[in-house]
Amino acid sequence: MKRILTWFVVVLALLANMLPAAVMASPPAQDPGWFAEYFANHSLAGPPVLTRYEPSIDYVWGTGSPSAAVPIDQFSVRWTRTMSFSAGTYNFCATVDDGVRFWVDGQLLIDQWRVTGAQVTYCASPYLTAGTHTLQMAYFEDTGNAMARLVWSGPIAPVPSPGPPVPWPPSPSEAWIGEYYDDMMLGASVSPAKAPVMVRMDPQINFNWGTSSPAVGLPAYEYSVRWTRDINFAEGTYNFCATVDDGVRVWVDGVLILDEWREQSVRTFCATRYITAGRHTVQVAYLQKRGDAIISFSYSSGNVPPPVPPIPPAPTPVPPPWPYPTPVPPLPTPVPPPAAGWYGEYFNNTFLGGPPVLTRVDAEINFDWGWGAPAPGMPADDFSIRWTREVWFDNGTYTFCARHDDGVRLYVDGALVIDSWFEQAAAVHCGVKALNIGTHRVQVYYYERSQFALISVWWTAGGAPPPVFPTPVPTPAPPYYPPYYPPYPPPVGAEIMVDNMDPGFIWGGPLGSRRIAYLGIGGNLFWTFNSYSSPINFGKWVPRLAAPGYYEVFAFIPREFATSTRVRYRIIHAGQRHDRIINQWQYNDQWVSLGTYYFAATGDEFVVVYDNTREFYGTRMIAFDALKFVPRW
């Protein structure tokens, strides 16, 4: 009997060795590459339609798709990877079209979740300790071409620490480690990123190279430099200032505090940051495109207490399954003063920037401002609000909903529940979150871009969205002027054209911002770089129409100096306003129709274009050429 059992065990062992490898489970490799999750939407929502391991993030999909399971447009990807790093500072650069976010160990370093319509590169330079670190990159494609690439270089050996922090100021013997590159992307113009042409110790950052090269072996144009230094700070608030021609970025401990990365004439930029006592890593990146080259960097102590307003929590990425660790959650944000309702902070910009112009306690978030402003002293467009409230919840799953026009984000205890931060008509968005019994912090961020403004927020117990939503309390809107339909036919005659050199064209803004190019209608045009949310420049066309009637309005878009994808033409006619968003980049010496409208020919009707396109500041060009008004029946 024992002999039979022995032979039975031997036979089973032989059969097990003969089974195919696919049947036998095996743990993943230590570093199988990037764990990629592809979603059939642009917000990483729901289960992924495709998951796989990829050796690198280096894709140019163009107008195609990453896979048959993924749509051509409106898709998103999340890549995650755990890798070993030596101690030092690393430069991570993401080149994308359209939006990107990048984390290291759960810390958000790059946050450019927006439509660009073109390839744009963003960089961050954190200091990493020796050991394993989790990298995550999220990407979304809107429409048009699609590409995503991530490269990095390093480590840069840190300046040796002298031991415990020394009294302020730091030793004058400390210097900046300067890395000089012969491209404008700090070596990230190729994959893998290339090494600097030269590395040297600079005692200070204060250079005026003019039209010369910084050193032998470097070009006089189209180069970049990165300086790194560990500095001892006393506790306090510091002003960091850079005078540059052309671009500059400044980081403190890997956090970007100054971002003016573009071609420009010499100017000074400053940022203020609270610094704890001790040693901190400061990095300065510089870009030289053409013309004179100037870079001077300095910092000074303000000796004032740190700011304490509520800070928007950074979203924490969702990690994939083992072997990847859970990213570090964001730090808790300060709690506003206790209130019976919502603590509201109202800002006169669309990005919750700077000190609020108004703070108040709102009993509920249920507003319909229409075309009006939320309060005296606030604009009717281009504003934002942050509401904060501590709310008691029982154990259970809750559905949070918002009805809004334009953008909204809702956080519970720092976790993002609703993310619909873009310009849109009135819509309802909901998110579900399980809560334990107790007090939880709810924050709502809202911004209004233009036209109608409304926001309502509510929640219900249970995992299903409620069938109805509250009706916003109406706010009086400006009077509506219906179009006048004449009893006689519209005029028949020659078209009316207003060129940029005609008396009917008006330029608003600093003349130094207005550039001229010798092409287009009449052999010349004006152009300027874009701003983000607050306008700096505008062009206004005022036609001299012979008689009332319907006119089709055309804008001439030249083949050059027109790279913005979001130029808003505002048509003011017969007491009404209509906006048209035009992608100037897609046209090439073409007349583009803005639509047909009724004009009363009163002399006060016009078309205006502002430079606040909500594209990354100073990266796009807006052309101001001719407009024509063509009579239509």
| Residue-wise DSSP of 190-220 | SSSPPPPSEEEEES--EEEEETS-SSTTS-S
Give the number of domains in the chain: 4
pLDDT at site 198: 84
| End position of a domain, from candidates 474, 506, 521 | 474
187 and 123 assigned to the same domain = no
- Residues 462 and 508 occupy one common structural domain: no
Question: What does the longest C-alpha to C-alpha distance in the chain come to?
Answer: 114
pLDDT on residue 617: 80
d(CA 286, CA 176): 13
Q: Is residue 1 part of a domain?
A: no
Q: What are phi and psi of 585, to 5 degrees?
A: -65, -25
Say if residue 184 is in the same domain as residue 96. no
Same domain? 288 vs 173: yes
- Do 173 and 145 belong to one domain? no
| pLDDT score at 7 | 53
Distance CA 631, CA 633 (A): 7
User: Is residue 309 domain-resident?
Assistant: no
Residues 370 and 432 in one domain: yes
Domain boundary among the residues 295, 329, 363 is at 329
Indicate the pairing of strand 576-582 with strand 538-541.
Answer: unpaired
pLDDT of residue 493: 58
Residue 245 lies in a domain: yes
Residue 388 falls inside a structural domain:
yes
Same domain, 108 and 180: no
Residue 205: phi, psi to the nearest 5? -105, 95
What pLDDT, on a 0 to 100 scale, did the predictor assign at position 340? 65
* 425 plus 550 within the same structural domain: no
What is the pLDDT at residue 465? 44
Stated as kind and residue range, the H or E segment containing 4 is helix 2-18
Residue pointed to by tokens 């090269």: 213
Cα separation, 38 vs 77, whole angstroms: 5
Say if 16 falls within a structural domain: no
User: In this predicted structure, what is the pLDDT of residue 382?
Assistant: 87
Residue 463 in any domain: the answer is yes
Using a pLDDT cut of 70, give the percent of the chain over it. 80
Same domain, 604 and 520: yes
Q: Which domain holds residue 572?
A: 496-632
Whether residues 186 and 291 fall in one domain: yes
- Contact yes or no for 155/90 (Cβ under 8 A): yes
Measured between alpha carbons, how far is 273 from 236 in angstroms, rounded to an integer? 9
User: For residue 326, what pLDDT is reported?
Assistant: 36
Kindly list the distances between the CA atom of residue 551 and the CA atoms of 592, 594, 632, in Å, as whole numbers in the listed order. Answer: 14, 10, 5
> Would residue 399 count as lying in a domain?
yes
- Taking residue 566's Cβ as centre, other Cβ atoms within 10 Å add up to 19
Q: Which residues of the chain register pLDDT less than 50? A: 1-2, 5-6, 8-29, 157-173, 303-339, 463-492
> CA-CA distance, 506 to 133, in Å (whole number)?
55
604 falls within a domain:
yes
The answer to whether residues 151 and 182 belong to one domain is no
- How much is the pLDDT for 374? 92
- The CATH number linked to 104 is 2.60.120.260
Which residues fall within 8 angstroms of residue 623, CB to CB, at 6 or more apart? 517, 520, 525, 526, 527, 557, 558, 561, 562, 584
Is residue 360 located within the same domain as residue 237?
no
For the stretch 521-560, pLDDT in tens is 988 999 999 988 778 889 999 999 988 888 999 999 999 8
Q: Last residue of a domain, which of 294, 329, 364?
A: 329
What pTM did the predictor assign?
A: 0.31
